[in-house]
Amino acid sequence: MKQRVVVGLSGGVDSSVAAALLKEQGYDVIGLFMRNWDSTLNNDILGNPERTDEICSQEIDYQDAEKVAKKLDMPIYRVDFIKEYWDNVFTYFLDEYKKGRTPNPDILCNKYIKFDAFFEHAKRFEPDFIAMGHYARVVHGDHPKLLRGVDGNKDQSYFLSQLTESQLSHVLFPVGELTKAEVRAIAHKYDLATKDKKDSTGICFIGERDFDKFLSNYLPSQPGNMVTEDGDVLGTHNGLMYYTIGQRKGLGIGGSAKYGGDPWFVIGKNLATNELIVGQGFHHPTLYSDACLVDDVNLINLDRFAGDKRCTAKFRYRQKDHKVTIRFTGDRLMVTFDEPIRAITPGQAAVFYDGDVCLGGGFIEAAYRHDQQRLY
């Protein structure tokens, strides 16, 4: 009897090829399309039903997913996780911005929606596994391991770092062994409707729309002063939530007789005074940290340890690996860097690796330089 797999069909090329490969490998494959956002409903939740956001491209994606399912002769079903997404992902997203932090909701979407709510819904089909189109790999066993995808430019293990061993034990990543070019070639081989579809970018509920405008619908702007470290006021900002550490674009600060023409960057935020702190130069020393504190720690295939542990870490997606030492302090991890790292940003994920094996990760609570907590 064939093993059954429920695959998350998003309407993109990666999940389409994942489904094609599973069919090719002899699995009984069922497609499941997730709808996680509804502008009208979410406006009602906010008590603002007359405001309309741009319609997400989900309808187009669903039509593409249907075409792929038909081409591969497999059933497809549609499920709404709108409430689950709001409760577990979007409210977190808003809360982090209220704190002046820069969140990464895609990681929680994977943890709570794609590999939790999705799996619970998929159980009605009695699957042996669920599958997604992520560029990552799993080694199954008593203690499943999460590995980077073979394509270093597309590896998505960073976004899967909050998954548990229990979740990984039920998961297949069919495209994890492939490069993006190979995935495209397979999509052409099967003449899938998504074969030349552009990769999606950003978060679904934001899509291609203006991010600042979108965020202002949910959080009121609080303009304030844009200042140097010495307190010299250079202009005004639109709200601390709109800026991230290390940002250059959109500051609106030109050259001056006093400061010259070197570019300005966001180097800190002072929530108490609602000030955006800026400094000149990509390598401004205030942008560099030598340690950070990580909260909401999730370990994969690794028991809690005593003392120091050496590994590498990423603090942003696509960032190179940095050599670090990690040590538990209570339930959190203190991460010490071998070399100072630029733009360590509270709210972002810190993800740890031992070679290709992802050890898990957490979220940056605070950054430090010479044992002093940074003001952002």
Catalytic choice (109, 292, 311, 358): 109
CA dihedral 267, 270, 271, 273 (to 10 degrees): -140
Cα separation of 297 and 284, whole Å?
A: 30
Catalytic choice (56, 204, 292, 311): 204
Tokens 């002899």, residue?
Answer: 26
Instruction: Yes or no: say if 344 and 367 are a contact pair by the CB < 8 Å rule.
Output: yes
| 292 catalytic residue (yes or no) | no
Which residue type, as a one-letter code, is found at position 192?
Answer: L
Q: Supply the residues annotated as catalytic.
A: 109, 204
